Amino acid sequence: MASAYSKEQLLTMYRKMYLLRRFEERAGQQYGLGKIAGFCHLYIGQEAVAVGANEAIRPDDYMLSAYRDHGQPLARGSDAGMVMAELFGRGTGYSKGKGGSMHIFDIEHNFYGGYGIVGGQIPLAAGMAFASRYRNEDRVTVCFFGDAAANQGAFHETLNMAAKWKLPVIYICENNRYGMGTAIARTSAVPEIHKRASAYGIRGEAVDGMDVLKMYEAVKDAAAYCRAGNGPVLLEANTYRFRGHSMADPANYRTKQEVEDERKNDPLPKLRAYIVAQKLAKDADFEAIEEAEKAVVDAAVKFADESPEPSLDELWRDTIVEPGEQDVRPRERVLGVKVTQWPSYPSGQELKVTWDLEPREQAEQADRKAGLIR
């Protein structure tokens, strides 16, 4: 049977997953060398989630994540050198070295961070989706969070609002089965996170997060559903992180056997085997891809290493927008490279807000039913 995917599509997914893997391996190594400090949460094992999701949406859709946030921007197309430079705390990083590993932002590629408070980004995503609806844009917002984040009040409060107001947001819970060292089943009354969708009357599904094609299909469906105005979707990507929670975590709360078993589900060889079975590429093709991505990551490390620290006067920038201050992309400021796309903050004159959150008649009907008005 012929593949439903083009060769180019499949190889792009493989290339990106390989880039994420290689980038994280090098980041781990650089952490060991003391070049990267602070918390550094690697994404190794979970690559299929970010890559599958990203390939299923449009470049102008919004995306945001938690602190395990190197993979998603790379999947979006962010510059590996600028991500690495941010990890190194250099002035050429995406946040000019002010954010570090947990706060990657690349607005040009519609990647909106990078948040260190567990669950804190969940309401922001609903707000971005709200803005899309407010402006009659058919963009969706994809928001990643961990299984432990689903126990935060922010999750409940936001899903209630997103459902009530039919906001076009796809929540992807990356269930890697642990919140730091605590197995999800030990802290969650309902560890199957997707089941919680029923509490808000929204669509919820479990997906094999170790299979990039399953992720791709699920997010593609979800995006179409959101764009059609049906409201939010909660996807639970069942996945696994091969490394500890952060570089500081030896992960001895899980058995060797468990990790070995999970490694058999590694999403990279799985996709590679599929592509080979479809006769769309040979081993040599994969080797070429891998060499090229290795070179990208090597260049990224070199760029980060050779980049200067931010200048001390940066301390006094980027806290408050001063009157008349223009938005300047960091890349433009630091490297002098012009970028074309930038979020605009238009005055509202040309904007017509036409939709109703709660149509008047509907609200009155409800009141009448409740006997509040006659």
Partner 1 sequence: MPELMYREALNQALAEEMERDANVFLIGEEVGRYNGAFKVSQGLLDRFGSARIIDAPISELGFAGMSAGAAMVGLRPVVEMMTWNFAILAMDQIVNNAAKLRHMSGGQLRCPIVFRGPGGAGGRLSSQHSQALEANYAHFPGLKVIAPATPADAKGLLKSAIRDENPVIMFEGERLYAVKGEVPEGEHIVPIGKADVKREGTDVTLITWSRMYYFCMEAAEALAKEGISVEVLDLRTLRPLDEEAILASVRKTNRAVICEEGWALAGIGASVVDLIQSKAFDDLDAPVARVTGLDVNMSYAANLENATQPDAPKIIAAVKKVLYREGA
Ligand X SMILES: Cc1ncc(C[n+]2csc(CCOP(=O)(O)OP(=O)(O)O)c2C)c(N)n1
Residues that bind partner 1 (CB under 8 A): 62, 93-99, 103, 105-107, 112-117, 120-132, 134, 153-154, 157-158, 160-161, 164, 317-321, 325, 327-330, 333, 343-349, 351-360, 363
Cα–Cα nearest to 81, from 307, 338, 288, 291: 307
Nearer to partner 1, 258 or 367 (CB): 367
Interface with ligand X in residues 8-37 (CB under 6 A): none
Shortest Å distance, C-beta 106 to partner 1: 8
Cis check for the bond before 336: say yes or no (omega within 30 of 0): no
Burial 194-203 (b: 16+ CB within 10 A, else e): bebbeebebb
234, β-bridge pairs: 171, 204
Where does residue 357 rank: exposed (0-12), middle (13-18), buried (19+ CB within 10 A)?
exposed
Which one-letter DSSP state was computed for residue 265? T
Q: Which residue reads 């039913």 in tokens?
A: 369
Residue facing ligand X at closest CB distance:
146
Q: Which of 92, 176, 238, 239 binds ligand X (CB under 6 A)?
A: 176
Q: Distance (Å, rounded) from C-alpha 239 to C-alpha 173? A: 10
Structural contact between residues 106 and 94, judged by C-beta atoms closer than 8 angstroms? yes
Q: Work out what residue 245 binds among partner 1, ligand X, none; the CB cut-off runs from 5 to 8 Å by kind.
A: ligand X
Residue span binding ligand X (CB under 6 A) among the ranges 147-155, 329-337, 342-350, 357-365: 147-155
User: Cβ 116 to ligand X, closest distance in Å?
Assistant: 5
Among 52, 179, 204, 310, binds ligand X (CB under 6 A): 179
> Which residues 6+ apart lie within 8 Å of 234 measured at CB?
159, 171, 173, 193, 194, 196, 197, 202, 203, 204, 205
Measured from the CB atom, the residue of 125 and 226 that comes closer to partner 1 is 125
Q: Is 118 in the site for ligand X (CB under 6 A)?
A: yes
Stretch that binds ligand X, among 28-36, 113-121, 321-329, 336-344 (CB under 6 A): 113-121
In angstroms, the CA 234 to CA 143 distance is 10
How far apart are CB 314 and ligand X at their closest, in Å?
25
Residues lying near ligand X in the complex (CB under 6 A) are found at 68, 116-118, 146-149, 174, 176, 178-180, 245
